[in-house]
Amino acid sequence: MPTITRDDVKVPADVLPEAREEYINNYLKATRGTGRLMLFACDQKMEHLNGDFYGEGIDPSDNDPEHLFQIGSQGVCGVLAGQRGLIARYAPDYPEINYLIKMNSKTNLVKTEQDDPYSPQLHDFEAVLAMKEAGCNIVGVGYTIYLGSEYESTMLSEAGELIAEAHAAGLIVVLWIYPRGKAVADEKAPELIAGAAGAAVSLGADFVKVNPPKATDDKTSAENLAIASQAAGRTGLVCAGGSKADVGEFLQHLHDQIHIGGACGNATGRNIHMRSLDEAVRLTQAISAITLSDYSVEDALQVFNTDLEYVLRESFFEYVLRESF
Amino acid sequence: MPTITRDDVKVPADVLPEAREEYINNYLKATRGTGRLMLFACDQKMEHLNGDFYGEGIDPSDNDPEHLFQIGSQGVCGVLAGQRGLIARYAPDYPEINYLIKMNSKTNLVKTEQDDPYSPQLHDFEAVLAMKEAGCNIVGVGYTIYLGSEYESTMLSEAGELIAEAHAAGLIVVLWIYPRGKAVADEKAPELIAGAAGAAVSLGADFVKVNPPKATDDKTSAENLAIASQAAGRTGLVCAGGSKADVGEFLQHLHDQIHIGGACGNATGRNIHMRSLDEAVRLTQAISAITLSDYSVEDALQVFNTDLEYVLRESFFEYVLRESF
Amino acid sequence: MPTITRDDVKVPADVLPEAREEYINNYLKATRGTGRLMLFACDQKMEHLNGDFYGEGIDPSDNDPEHLFQIGSQGVCGVLAGQRGLIARYAPDYPEINYLIKMNSKTNLVKTEQDDPYSPQLHDFEAVLAMKEAGCNIVGVGYTIYLGSEYESTMLSEAGELIAEAHAAGLIVVLWIYPRGKAVADEKAPELIAGAAGAAVSLGADFVKVNPPKATDDKTSAENLAIASQAAGRTGLVCAGGSKADVGEFLQHLHDQIHIGGACGNATGRNIHMRSLDEAVRLTQAISAITLSDYSVEDALQVFNTDLEYVLRESFFEYVLRESF
Amino acid sequence: MPTITRDDVKVPADVLPEAREEYINNYLKATRGTGRLMLFACDQKMEHLNGDFYGEGIDPSDNDPEHLFQIGSQGVCGVLAGQRGLIARYAPDYPEINYLIKMNSKTNLVKTEQDDPYSPQLHDFEAVLAMKEAGCNIVGVGYTIYLGSEYESTMLSEAGELIAEAHAAGLIVVLWIYPRGKAVADEKAPELIAGAAGAAVSLGADFVKVNPPKATDDKTSAENLAIASQAAGRTGLVCAGGSKADVGEFLQHLHDQIHIGGACGNATGRNIHMRSLDEAVRLTQAISAITLSDYSVEDALQVFNTDLEYVLRESFFEYVLRESF
Amino acid sequence: MPTITRDDVKVPADVLPEAREEYINNYLKATRGTGRLMLFACDQKMEHLNGDFYGEGIDPSDNDPEHLFQIGSQGVCGVLAGQRGLIARYAPDYPEINYLIKMNSKTNLVKTEQDDPYSPQLHDFEAVLAMKEAGCNIVGVGYTIYLGSEYESTMLSEAGELIAEAHAAGLIVVLWIYPRGKAVADEKAPELIAGAAGAAVSLGADFVKVNPPKATDDKTSAENLAIASQAAGRTGLVCAGGSKADVGEFLQHLHDQIHIGGACGNATGRNIHMRSLDEAVRLTQAISAITLSDYSVEDALQVFNTDLEYVLRESFFEYVLRESF
């Protein structure tokens, strides 16, 4: 089981000296003291509108946004990632969750054929800091970049500035990077996924969420992912979970991504929240069992099926107790 | 009859501690102590130019903008929503009205075929705060987003920042969200209305004004609205009133929207101000009787027809008296 | 003869308390204590390049920009409106003129067929305040909006912010609003002129300059103007003077605009400055005789023909003396 | 021989009181105490890339940018105009030259057929002030506007703000104004040159550099220039020198521009720096003999041919000595 | 062997007096006390995505970004140039390297046929200063301009402002200037390379990186480069190294660029980092032997082949010891 100490955290040079302890705290909180990230993605009410939350194959409870916070609170995840506004409305009742503010968002109405994608930053970074200082448990921020879009430049620029600001204040940063636009023929080509990873470390992100690369003649998806993970260097690479899938298969993919592909975590949304609260909670436990505690796929599946109890909290509290601050 | 106390108000996490009481006050004032919103929309002199104010079927008194403020003063509404400039010119003579500053506006001259819609923010938020601090009774701000427009990104960004600023200062925020643009085939498709609701809660709005969804094979408009209302979560959903209609039919729709569709209020403009002062005042009373006091359609119609007296003020003053501030 | 006192001035709610007396002073100075505005438009050297200042039918003296200031100084007008830079170069020698800074301007080189019109703000508002504080007699600012242009949004936004800034500092604001662009079929359609008036009051302007609406089957131009004047509410509507015309006809139109059309002033440029200094001075007196002193057309024409002496100054000094400041 | 005193300088109203003496100093330095401007244009390394500095008919010494400063130092000119960066690199070794910072620049790679011209401001005004305060002998700033370009609005806006900032700090401003773009059929049409002059005074420039207007059926170029000079009012008009030409012919044109066309100076670049240092120095003396000392063409030609010694310095030092500052 | 003293450094006039010693230090550190620049380009993970770091002919170690820092640490270079984020993640473990922050970057996904190139600034300059003040050994900043792009104006403007800011704070600036875009027929035409050099000195850069010009009928590439070097004046010109090539040939080119072409350094990336650590380290030594120590090609090749030991450090420490600061 991966565990890291405060000294293991590689604090980047753009974290200002006075924010150093804050950065280490946030990094350890987000990774639950493991260095790996289990990110629960809750930004799709904007990104996919209501299509991910209501309809056939989706549990009715998912239509109410509070469902996301109930999962975040009762399940096990490193961070719950959502827009600032969404978190602002529910965080007072769920103060124990680690929040990651997704800074930019777009809807899926305008398709790439009509216009290349641009996801605008929804507010300045100061708004996040103010909310954090008012007591909200925010540990980091996130930003989506569509590499290869005709608006790539604006997103690179917003993300670059955001990372500087967030690190200066001791927050961690997760980038979502997807190659997309008229110039991108194959969004899952391994060299583009590795390119996205390299772009992330060039920008200085702590973690980057990418889509799993496609398999090629000579390599599986996980093997191709390993190249991207290495290209990401000190930026931890995590994979998007994609749409709702068979749990066993999903956990196997996750396990491969970490143990073959070198991923240091996962980012899953729809696959979790489309389920009933109980099932969703158990899925977060199963995912975290693999991501944060190095369980086997079989054991994790038992966690999901409630045949095995999963308790994470120890390592988390351990690091908190280890230092007095 | 819905009544809420100060403790019932869910204060979002982006309201700064020092603005907490101010937010609660504004929320209670805007909802008249009920948690429901009766919004009198007075921004059409820009949005529709003079077409809503002069011509056949419109009372001549409507051509003078003061008509709006006379209705707001003598009738019953939660907030009068209009552009900052309009309110600045009349508020000194109508200090008792709750004002909501509509931050952005466009005219209807450029049609979607020529260019996708963008409604620009007319001034910064500081201008609102200064006016409020100078004594104007402003309780909140509003902003229109055209989801699916090629300019969606600019509006999301302006709205996101506005909500952060307004909440920080204790003002409430109402979003008007309409799917519109070349990418939008059916502006009233239920899934788009529910999508608009989800976008609103993602941005952290207090209320969102949407168009009523169309009826589908299996569901009435109000039943489809219920899905959107749930998708909006802690953001209260209110429906646009649309153009001038038969009062009985209008009140029935309103009643259905609230009691079947889960709406927590209404936003009505033209249907009110196109009438003579007396008739308009009585219509605001009838609307408020349903929205704020849970009257039946029949009773509300009697209010409109002056067969029944409607007095709201109690619950409003009640909450003011309950706390000393 | 219209005369107003300090108490008659409707101070809008966005004038900050500490700027209240300054606003009243400026309003009274600009309207010469009458509530009506005689605006001498001197911004065409940018708008029309040199075409209004040199050529057939234009007095040679008009080619020198100082001509404008000689007229402003020796004639009678409420404000001389021009770009900040122009006024900066001549105001030291003509300190007694009331200046209104026209904040935006464009040339007439790019036609609407090539691109919809946009007139950019030439500098920030601070530059006006600094000049005023350095002693220049500035009473207000102006801004042109082309409603219906594809760049309408930028102009609405600049104008909206400008009004907030100017009122906060006690300056009055005049908007020039012209429907223009590919979306506008008939720039002088009465409903568009009335729409422009409504947009002006929505933005909170003190005065709006519009083109006279065209006559329709049932109404003269002045009768159509009356609808626009009412739609403007507390924003005073003034009409553009248009190009050089017969003086008698011009004064009759002006008289009709005020007494039938409800206009509260006029805005005239070319018709004045294309004449010799002497003739131009007399025309400002004749215009002011109608606008500021309710002369008949016949009497005003006698003023122009020097058969009648016109003295305005009394009411102006009266209000200054009435209060000590 | 033109000579002016400190009291002759018309200080515009946007020069802040505390910058008044600075403005007068800069005006007198730039005009060498004459009110006329001899501007040595050194901004073409960006505008024309290396085409003006290397090749057939160009002295080899011109390829080294230091050539420009050697001419500026050993020759006679009012100001050396170049980009801030260029001046920053050489000014420490040539501290005696009066520098005018050309604020914006573009290359000549993108032609008008591909896109209308826009010359971007290269840095904010603060950067100029800081350099001046650090000891660099900067007397003013310059900016190019392409009237009639589709980007005219941006350039008008940048220039307008620049003039406000520069005057507030006591610097003089020279505008380069050229009608250019798809909308401009004839860049040297007299009415456009006069229009450019009017635009300059509307913006409040101290000097405007225009191209000489073409001759028409009834008027020579210089006679047409006279109309533009008058239209410029208190903004001094100077003519561009154009490409390398016969010296006698060039000096005759210059003399005509001043004595027939009413120009108050000249702006010459290529014609000077394409020559050897010795020849270039003598040409600046010949030009200044006409511009600053009212020499005849014949005498100026003798200066160029070294048959006549030209000494300017007197009037310059005179005004410096006249006042103690 | 080139060596310079503190007094030899030409400090430009935009270096503020209080930053003068800092600028001299940074200039001497970057040039290792020689006035020549050996720049190790490490910004391609964004510019070329992962194509330069993984694949046939590339050493596997190059896929890990730490490879770059190992080379920078164990090899000999003046500065390691990379994006702020990349440097932030590794600099704490490689504090001895001189870093140059590459301020802007784009990917190579959108080709010129689709859109002209624009490389956006990734964050403001303050972010660099803060990182430097927090202890990171940053000596300068870099910026890429695509001359002739339709977005040239934005890049000129960002670069111009950056140079002002960086010099004010005592940092050196390297510009990468490449003519590119639909308007550019031949990116390596000698007159365009010389034009780029002239643009660089106009902007005030300390160094400019250009592509080697192509050979022409009458001149070799190096001879054409000599014209560009002279056109760059006091801005030192360095050549891009291009893709991986035969070492002997590469070193010969470099030697020619310096001794025939007047270059004062080199900028090499791929050619170095695509090799194994050991080979890459030796190549940096061979390059530096030529650039910083005037070795012959033969001797430098011996350094690469480990037949000759190369020690630079002397001159570097010499200047540090010469002054006490």
* pLDDT tens profile B171-185: 999 999 999 999 999
Q: So what's the pLDDT on residue D3?
A: 84
CA separation (Å) from A173 to A25, A194, D27, D174?
Answer: 14, 19, 53, 47
DSSP C186: -
Q: So what's the pLDDT on residue D92?
A: 98
Distance in angstroms (rounded) separating the CA atoms of residues D199 and D160: 11
CB contact under 8 A, D199 and C53: no
Mark whether A102 is an active-site residue.
no
Chain A residue whose CA is closest to E109: A148
Q: Is C266 helix (H, G, I), strand (E, B) or coil?
A: strand
**Whether pLDDT at A317 is above 80:** no
The answer to whether B and C touch (≥3 CB pairs < 8 Å) is yes
CB contact under 8 A, E191 and D49: yes
Mean pLDDT for A235-239 is 96
Chain D residues whose beta carbon lies within 8 Å of the beta carbon of residue E10: 89, 92
Which helix (H) or strand (E) covers residue D94, if one does? none
Chain C residue whose CA is closest to B86: C202
- Counting one residue from chain B and one from chain C, the pairs whose CB atoms sit within 8 A come to 160
Band (D312; pLDDT cuts 50, 70, 90) = confident
**Whether pLDDT at B243 is above 80:** no
**Whether pLDDT at A324 is above 70:** no
Which helix (H) or strand (E) covers residue E308, if one does? none
Chain A residue whose CA is closest to B181: A110
- What are the tokens at A71? 């999962």
The answer to whether B229 and B263 have CB atoms below 8 angstroms apart is yes
Name the percent of chain D lying above pLDDT 90.
Answer: 90
Distance in angstroms (rounded) separating the CA atoms of residues E47 and E104: 10
Catalytic one among E94, E178, E295, E319? E178
Instruction: Select from B43, B83, B89, B131 the residue whose CB has the most chain C CBs within 10 Å, as the one to mutate to test that interface.
Output: B89
DSSP D212: P
Catalytic one among A29, A209, A295, A310? A209
Band (B2; pLDDT cuts 50, 70, 90) = confident
**Whether pLDDT at C112 is above 50:** yes
Mean pLDDT for E71-86 is 97
Mean pLDDT for B119-125 is 98
CB contact under 8 A, B150 and A43: no
Q: So what's the pLDDT on residue E229?
A: 98
Q: Is A218 helix (H, G, I), strand (E, B) or coil?
A: coil
Q: Is A156 helix (H, G, I), strand (E, B) or coil?
A: helix
Name the percent of chain C lying above pLDDT 90.
Answer: 90
Residue the block writes with tokens 């300068």 = E140
| Tens-place pLDDT, residues A278-301 | 999 999 999 999 999 999 999 999
Band (C242; pLDDT cuts 50, 70, 90) = low
Phi, psi angles (nearest 5°) of residue A238: -125, 155
Q: So what's the pLDDT on residue A257?
A: 96
- State which amino acid sits at residue E193: I
| Tens-place pLDDT, residues A149-192 | 999 999 999 999 999 999 999 999 999 999 999 999 999 999 99
Distance in angstroms (rounded) separating the CA atoms of residues A11 and A19: 10
- What are the tokens at C153? 């949004």
CB contact under 8 A, B203 and A119: no
Band (D261; pLDDT cuts 50, 70, 90) = very high
**Whether pLDDT at C282 is above 90:** yes
Instruction: Show Cβ contacts of residue C156 under 8 Å, excluding neighbours closer than 6 positions.
Output: B46, B105, B106, B120, B122, C145, C199, C203
CB contact under 8 A, B120 and C13: no
Residue A56: count other Cβ atoms within 10 Å of its Cβ: 4
**Whether pLDDT at C211 is above 70:** yes
Cβ neighbourhood burial of B66 (10 Å; 0-12, 13-18, 19+) = middle
- Rounded (5°) CA angle D179-D184-D188: 55
Residue D135: count other Cβ atoms within 10 Å of its Cβ: 12
Q: So what's the pLDDT on residue D323?
A: 47
| Tens-place pLDDT, residues E244-290 | 679 999 999 999 999 999 999 999 999 999 999 999 999 999 999 99
| Tens-place pLDDT, residues E217-253 | 999 999 999 999 999 999 999 997 665 679 999 999 9
D308/chain E closest Cα distance in angstroms: 34
Q: Which of D13, D183, D192 is facing C134, going by the closest CB pair?
A: D13
B260/chain A closest Cα distance in angstroms: 17
Distance in angstroms (rounded) separating the CA atoms of residues D284 and C148: 53
HSE-up (13 A, CA, CB side) for residue A268: 32
**Whether pLDDT at E121 is above 90:** yes
Distance in angstroms (rounded) separating the CA atoms of residues A288 and A299: 12
pTM of the model: 0.95
Band (B309; pLDDT cuts 50, 70, 90) = confident
Chain C residue whose CA is closest to D165: C127
How many residues does the structure list for chain D? 325
Q: Which of E157, E163, E230 is facing D63, going by the closest CB pair?
A: E230
Instruction: Select from B67, B102, B105, B109 the residue whose CB has the most chain C CBs within 10 Å, as the one to mutate to test that interface.
Output: B109
The answer to whether D148 and D179 have CB atoms below 8 angstroms apart is yes
ipTM attached to this prediction: 0.95
Mean pLDDT for A106-118 is 96
Catalytic one among B23, B209, B295, B310? B209
Chain E residues whose beta carbon lies within 8 Å of the beta carbon of residue D124: 161, 164
Q: So what's the pLDDT on residue E323?
A: 47
The separation between CA E127 and the C-alpha centre of its own chain, rounded to angstroms, equals: 21
Band (E3; pLDDT cuts 50, 70, 90) = confident
Neighbours of chain A (3+ CB pairs under 8 A): B, E
- Counting one residue from chain A and one from chain B, the pairs whose CB atoms sit within 8 A come to 159
**Whether pLDDT at E325 is above 70:** no
Neighbours of chain D (3+ CB pairs under 8 A): C, E
